[in-house]
Homo-oligomer: A and B are copies of this chain.
Amino acid sequence: MAEDLYQKGIKKIQELTASDDENPTGFMDIGEGFKDIAPDLSKYVVEFAFGEIYSRPGLDNKQKVLTTITALVAQGKPQIEMHIKTGLTVGLKPEEIVGCIMHLIPYTGFPSVLNALKVAQEVFAEQGVSVPASDD
């Protein structure tokens, strides 16, 4: 039932944002700000993106967010900020997020990577997390 799919999507969003039942979508932008012009948008975001796709088997949440961040770096989309936050929430370590962005240098070139690191740096500062020094 569609109602169930919506609930399934909300539950997945709660996992990704560590949100409680009072503010079930947490910091996730599900498009509710567009109720006046596209009232069906948030339904598609919750049901399809989160209820269906983010709820598929195959990858765990960390892998799903890593995949999301990579796609957004490759496309230069501002939504990367929100998904760096979901990454930290599901337990990606800051060095994994940075590792993913840095790994893209040979595939997207330096400018995309520099632009994405800027966003990561701001989110890390805001959340008080840091990348540990590596011995490598």
Binding site for B on A (CB under 8 A): 1-2, 5, 29, 31, 33-34, 36-41, 44-45, 48-49, 52-59, 63-64, 66-68, 70-79, 94-96, 98-115, 117, 120-121, 124, 130-131, 133-134, 136
Contacts and interface: CB of A to CB of B under 8 A. Distances in A.
Contacts of A5: 2
Question: How many copies of this chain are found per oligomer?
Answer: 6
Contacts of A105: 44, 53, 109
Contacts of A103: 53-54, 56, 58-59, 64, 67-68
A72 B111 contact: yes
B115 A49 contact: no
Contacts of A34: 114, 117, 121
19 contacts: A2-B2, A31-B110, A31-B114, A34-B121, A37-B124, A37-B130, A37-B131, A38-B98, A49-B110, A55-B136, A56-B136, A70-B74, A71-B108, A71-B109, A72-B107, A75-B107, A77-B111, A78-B115, A108-B108
